[in-house]
Structure 1
């Protein structure tokens, strides 16, 4: 895809204004948007350009994209720091990606622990390694009979330990609730459904201590997809589903839709159909079928309608936004209670950086959702 040069001298700003005038006793309302469209046609004619095609894909010219006007100053400062960090080289190997993200996540955990006072211990549940995160202030009385299970992100290839703690620490501290983050098996060393099996092993062990409706499961990115996959597995195997779940920056279907294109452009990349991310193409899913509802539960209406209350979180610059929106519609159409939260100008998995105002809002949204939907033991 080649870049396009455009004439940026003609800029039309459209607000919510409307032009009103009275003619022949009748009031006519002309939208400023119509005027802008006429100006655009005039500019096109003046430059001798042909009219845009009326069918097929739309060609989007290059443009400069500022940060969202709704981002808080500390969020903008965070974005600037992130953009200044060393970037992964093209075609980085899996070991290189693991090392790169571990450095980033280790720094995030250090910053989080300066903000949130928690205790972390390594334990084994159902034969699976788990990190237990407890608020140093103690579990709130209302949460002493509840537990949250976190499934970390990382494309099913990285994210264990530091990445998991980055998702668990703020929720444990803000919610004053016990969070167990599962060290599930990753690819390419392991293949689907290894991670799901690990989650189910932990969950079944917890069912010996807690009623299902007192357990919540949440995850971000790969962990959001794994949360949905685990619930589908429970439904298929007739295991009681948890009281509520959170699927963040991924959900019940594969990646696709508009956001896969827009998010690339929002980070300064050239979007291309050949580079659109697909979960089914990552090493962990080698040999899995794209039409398997255990991989993408949204494919099965019979499974979707049995999902528990679900919180869905994304940002307008998240490549997974479209899949999150579509999953929300599938759940709602099936009669499932959902809560959809989308933050303007925020990228994929934005809340792993704790300083942003939007991250703090997301933490509170997660805590409030589980408080409202889980029963006490």
Structure 2
């Protein structure tokens, strides 16, 4: 051990978690093999988008067999989106509620199929409309383009819904964008939504123990330099200390956040960010509910067959059911 607390080890052999489900233990090696084929972050954007669209299109097809939905492409306030509705119809309790999904993908890919992966199980299981946005991304666009798109859609939805009837959630880049969007709403004096979810990415940049341990546990070795938010093309020219980029840096801003659901896994490189964000929200007096799944990796619930994924879907649905306001008729029968 070094004087600064840095721990070194010549070699390690870490078995997969005994607490994970049998299905996860069987799937984990397949996940590692598929991840090894992913293009590097600096690959040509067309190559990365094609790779992840194939991956997510397969996931979405598998999801639709388990979670029947109808999908239609729409444009809201000039922003492309997919409106995902449960095949069995929106439940009476959710007729006056809506969820906005912000897909993951490093602010580079994930539009379309990636958004469907995050929206399909929640729409079907929760019997609620989920609108997943094709917000602007890098390298073509830079911060705050995505936040502007979310704000435009949110303003339009406020014409049809009360703010407390709207929920917003996202995974990875979408989890980060969810926090950034709420920060922007507050800065522009908009009412905050009824509840939000930040999954596998949250209100501060990736850091802490998991930024090193997560890649190690996923067979990638310990990184010399963990992934930096501002290294992403979308954030070129942005200020890392700007609370519109990292809302967790501003306690005053966090005090105005709505109830927040945070989800991660013990093998997620963003776990430290998510755990720390929950602590910051709690310190600010915000209801912040944290769920950590043992043995699970970044965006683990993108694969619907895992019991852990299905538990995550139920957790998300239940959280928004508890926190989004009912219609005025239901509230005052």
TM-score (norm. length: structure 2):
0.95
Q: Does the alignment pair 1:186 with 2:155? A: no
CA distance in 1, matches of 2:132, 2:245: 21
How far apart are 1:116 and its partner, in Å? 1.0
RMSD (Å) for aligned C-alpha atoms: 1.3
Q: Which residue, out of 80, 96, 104, partners 2:29?
A: 80
What is the DSSP-based 3-state SS (H/G/I as helix, E as strand, rest coil) of the residue aligned with 2:29? helix
Q: How does 1:16-165 map to 2 (within 5 A)?
A: 53=2, 55-85=4-34, 87-90=37-40, 92-165=43-116
Q: Secondary structure at the match of 2:244?
A: coil
CA contact 2:101–2:119 (8 Å) conserved in 1: yes
Matched, 1:241 2:176: no
How many Å apart are 1:53 and its aligned residue? Answer: 5.0
- Preserved CA contact (<8 Å) 2:263 2:290: yes
Aligned residue in 1 for 2:322: 372
CA-CA distance at 1:134 after TM superposition: 0.3
Larger relative contact order (CA 8 Å, sep ≥ 6): 2
SS for the counterpart of 2:289 is strand
Quick check: 2:175–2:201 contact (8 Å CA) kept in 1?
Answer: yes
Bigger Rg, which one:
1
Cα distance in structure 1, aligned partners of 2:129 and 2:8: 49
Report the CA distance between 1:55 and its aligned residue. Answer: 4.8
Contact 2:32–2:218, Cα closer than 8 Å, also in 1: no
Identify the residue that residue 318 of structure 1 maps to in structure 2. Answer: 268
Q: Counterparts of 1:292 and 1:113 in 2: how far apart (Å)? A: 40
TM alignment of 1:251-270, pairs within 5 A = 251-270=202-221
* Contact 1:130-1:183 at 8 Å conserved across structures: yes
State yes or no: 1:167 paired with 2:118: yes
Counterpart Cα distance in 2 of 1:66 and 1:55: 28
Q: How far 1:333 moved relative to its partner? A: 0.2
**CA, structure 1 residues 145+101, in 2 after alignment: closer, same or farther (shift >3 Å)?**
same
> Which segments of 5 or more consecutive residues in structure 1 lack a partner in the other structure?
1-51
Residues 78 and 355 in structure 1, CA contact (< 8 A), matched pair in contact too: no
Q: Residues 122-163 of structure 1: CA distance to partner in whole angstroms, max 9, x if unpaired?
A: 111112111000001011111111000000000000000000
**Contiguous gaps of at least 5 residues in structure 2:** 328-333
Mapped partners of 1:89, 1:349: distance in 2: 17
Superposition map of 1:210-289 within 5 A = 210-274=161-225, 276-289=226-239
* 1:334 alignment counterpart: 284
Partner-residue secondary structure (3-state), 2:132: strand
Contact kept? 2:84, 2:129, Cα under 8 Å: yes
In the alignment, which residue of structure 2 is the partner of 1:307?
257
TM-superposed deviation, 1:77: 2.1
**Shift of the alpha carbon at 1:313?**
0.2
Distance 1:238 1:53 in 2: 48
SS in 1 for 2:27: helix
